[in-house]
Structure 1
Amino acid sequence: MKKLLILALILTSVGASAQSASFGIKGGLNYGATGEYESFSQVSGDFVSSFEDGEDKTGFHAGMFAQFELLGIFIQPELMYTELNTEYRTFDYKLSKIDAPVLLGLNVLGPLNIKAGPSFQYILDNKIEGSDLEIEKVEKDITVGYQLGLGFDIGRLGFDLRHEGSFQDNFAKGGDIASDSGFQIDSRPSQWILSVSYAL
């Protein structure tokens, strides 16, 4: 909570000193996958494990943003609801979360800009579909990744293409203790994000 209050104070001070400020709504599609799926079991007293990468699938996101500009440099905090889908060999993994990226951007050529920064992720729900496997909540409710990409503004409309990655793993586990078998999935995504925004 203290970190969130400090962040809010910083953004408020930036907004107060900004030459221009805008607020708006945005949404779009994301294409990618969560991290590695590891399954393990005990065979003749030894643990045997196998690993599988998920197949990229399309999800969506929607939310709001603010942008505070000073001398051609801007800071853009966002609050987004995101749904991710990842296909593994025997099931689909569904993840819903709140993303709060805080991006530093630079206007480089006319309507073109570049931006990058940390992205805070808060997991709302995760579940497995198409299988009898049951999964627990993720180990950490909040993790930090990064986003970087290009933007293109035409009047009130904006278009963004970004890549999101992670700084740390965040596993969700499941399995059957009685049979000494189980699995874990890294919930942090690697994905491309395509967004359309409208400044109010």
Structure 2
Amino acid sequence: MLLAFIFAGLNLSAQNASFGIKGGLNYGATGEYESVGDASGDFMASFEDGESKTGFHAGLFAQFELLGIFIQPELLYTQLNTEYSTFDYKLSKIDAPVLVGLNILGPLNIKAGPSFQYILDNKAEGGGIQIEDVENDITVGYQLGAGLNLGRLGFDLRYEGAFSENTAFGLNETAAEEFTLDSRPSQWILSVSYAL
């Protein structure tokens, strides 16, 4: 009886599984830029919050649904851009969110869950800035939002945040000062998906 229940559940899950592609735009910024001193060792701290810019993401998703609740794992390439006063910061990463969702009204749904991130590259453009690798290549954040499914086409709006800092260290050659940069993402994500 137990085996029959398990096989029936697996069959139902397979019937309610979908796979597809997705992509879109993200709008946000990384964390605070903090200068921590100059080459002579004198301390002269200054702080600056980055300004949000538009980036993009693209990848694959799967969705497994049972009784109105679904699990949606994704694998995405994401580029996040941030503008500081003297340079632009670009962060490239692989995102693997695992979201749990609930169909609430017709085609509308809500979803939330952890987002695992692997940092591929971080670099500065302009301003004589040299940045080292981030402190942790793998981090965990979160995503939450809402979606609309119209047949095979889906639209999502989510917010992504991080649980802890992920510092990158660097040198501003123009000002001869060392600095730290909090590479945590804080962004809005707008996606379009298509189930195959």
**Do both proteins adopt the same fold according to a TM-score greater than 0.5, normalized to the shorter chain?**
yes
Of 48, 53, 57, which aligns to 2:53? 57
Identity %: 76
Q: Counterpart in 2 of 1:101?
A: 97
Q: Counterpart in 2 of 1:3?
A: none
Of 109, 128, 136, which aligns to 1:132? 128
SS of the aligned residue for 1:31 comes to strand
Q: Is the 8 A contact 2:38 2:178 kept in 1?
A: no
Unaligned runs of 5+ in 2: 1-8
Aligned-pair distance for 1:17?
Answer: 6.4
Moved more, 44-53 or 95-104: 44-53
TM-score with structure 1 setting the length: 0.87
Q: Counterpart in 1 of 2:5?
A: none
Aligned-pair distance for 1:133?
Answer: 1.3
Of 14, 17, 20, which aligns to 1:21? 17
Unaligned runs of 5+ in 1: 1-13
Aligned residues: 186
| 1:90 counterpart = 2:71 | no
CA separation of 1:118 and 1:180: change in aligned 2, threshold 3 A: same
Q: Deviations 1:24-65 (Å, cap 9, x if unpaired)?
A: 000000000001111121599652211100000000000000
Q: Is the 8 A contact 1:149 1:161 kept in 2?
A: yes
Map residues 171-186 of structure 1 onto 2, 5 A cutoff.
171-175=167-171, 181-186=177-182
Of 43, 47, 63, which aligns to 1:47? 43
CA separation of 1:143 and 1:44: change in aligned 2, threshold 3 A: closer
TM-score with structure 2 setting the length: 0.89
Q: Counterpart in 1 of 2:75?
A: 79
| 1:143 counterpart = 2:134 | no
Aligned-pair distance for 1:71?
Answer: 1.1
Q: Is the 8 A contact 2:128 2:172 kept in 1?
A: no
Q: Counterpart in 2 of 1:156?
A: 152
Aligned-pair distance for 1:176?
Answer: 7.1
State the superposition RMSD in angstroms: 2.1
Moved more, 23-32 or 128-137: 128-137
